[in-house]
Amino acid sequence: MANMHEIEYQILGDDMQFVKIEMDPGEAVVGEAGAMMYIEDGIQMQTIFGDGSQQQKGFMGSLLGAGKRLLTGESLFMTVFQNQGQGKKKAAFAAPYPGKIIALDLSDLGGEILAQKDSFLCAAKGVELGIAFTKRFGAGLFGGEGFILQRLNGDGWCFVHAGGTLEEKTLAPGEVLRVDTGCIVAMQPTVDYDIQLAGGIKTMFFGGEGMFFATLRGPGRVWLQSLPLSRLASRIYAAAPQTGGGGREQGSILGGLGNLLDGDGR
């Protein structure tokens, strides 16, 4: 793409990482709302409608770009950080919860990657963010844990966040891997995927592994995370003090079964 921006970067930290991006004058990075950690003097911020890739195509292009983000459950707006000063300037973007930041060069990955909807952090301006429409889109939409894939197109750098510990696997042609839907961070579009029920009714409700899992079939590279945001949030919610007359059994096995029977189970 002609409007792709080249950037230099450095990923710092261990469990709570951030990426520091260095931009030449005129270069820009587009980031998720709330991801910025700091910017140096000379970098200007501009809120845009959609992902920024359609800005040169007028209002309808912007509307389409924003609509794609709305379908993935993300904010309609993103922020562009452009170096309008003299010399190189740096901007830093922080991970939202413990884990690892992955730098993906789309030019080395065939120009496209599929990523979990809440894993995108920032990218060189010009990387297109869309929704992955496939023949199994419906299964993905209703596959549990918010399993909606974003499609990242372009030939520049993009940065995604994996919760907990990261593992990258390269699947051989025909090799199959079954994964909890929330544990998928990203994968190449050559990887075929499907969403399946975890099993019988007892397995779904009492097995502790969720109602759905993804079947991935190679060839291609996949990136997996050990701590999905949905899992982290549910554990925090379960451990938090309950109010509203929950009683002593609240948070226990007995309380959990009661919530399930009452229709309040999560």
Per mean pLDDT, which of 76-80, 176-180, 256-260 is the most reliable?
176-180
Tell me what the mean pLDDT of segment 182-188 comes to: 92
* φ/ψ of residue 60, rounded to 5: -65, -40
| 220/188 Cα distance (integer angstroms) | 6
pLDDT score of 231: 73
Q: Which of 217, 147, 148 is nearest to 181 (CA)?
A: 147
Top-confidence residue, 85 or 208: 85
Q: Is 202 a residue whose pLDDT tops 70?
A: no
pLDDT score of 53: 52
Domain boundaries, the chain: 8-231
CB 216 within 8 Å of CB 180 = no
- What would the pLDDT profile of 16-42 be if each residue is shown by its tens digit? 999 999 999 999 998 887 889 999 999
Tell me what the mean pLDDT of segment 226-253 comes to: 67
- What would the pLDDT profile of 49-89 be if each residue is shown by its tens digit? 655 554 444 444 444 444 444 444 455 578 889 999 999 99
pLDDT score of 211: 66
Token reading at 231: 């899992």
CB 191 within 8 Å of CB 171 = yes
DSSP summary character for residue 55: G
Q: Is 262 a residue whose pLDDT tops 50?
A: no
CB 150 within 8 Å of CB 72 = yes
CA separation (Å) from 244 to 103, 240, 247, 250, 255?
45, 13, 9, 11, 14
CB 132 within 8 Å of CB 151 = yes
| pTM of the complete model | 0.73
Q: Is 137 a residue whose pLDDT tops 70?
A: no
Per mean pLDDT, which of 11-15, 47-51, 233-237, 253-257 is the most reliable?
11-15
pLDDT score of 254: 46
- Measured at the alpha carbon of residue 34, what is the angle toward residues 29 and 40, in degrees to the nearest 5? 50
Q: Match domain 8-231 to its CATH number in 3.60.160.10, 3.30.1330.60, 1.10.357.10, 3.40.250.10.
A: 3.60.160.10
Q: Which amino acid is at 149?
A: L
What 3-state class would DSSP assign to 246? coil
Computed over every residue of the chain, the mean pLDDT equals 76
CB atoms within 10 A of CB 97: 13
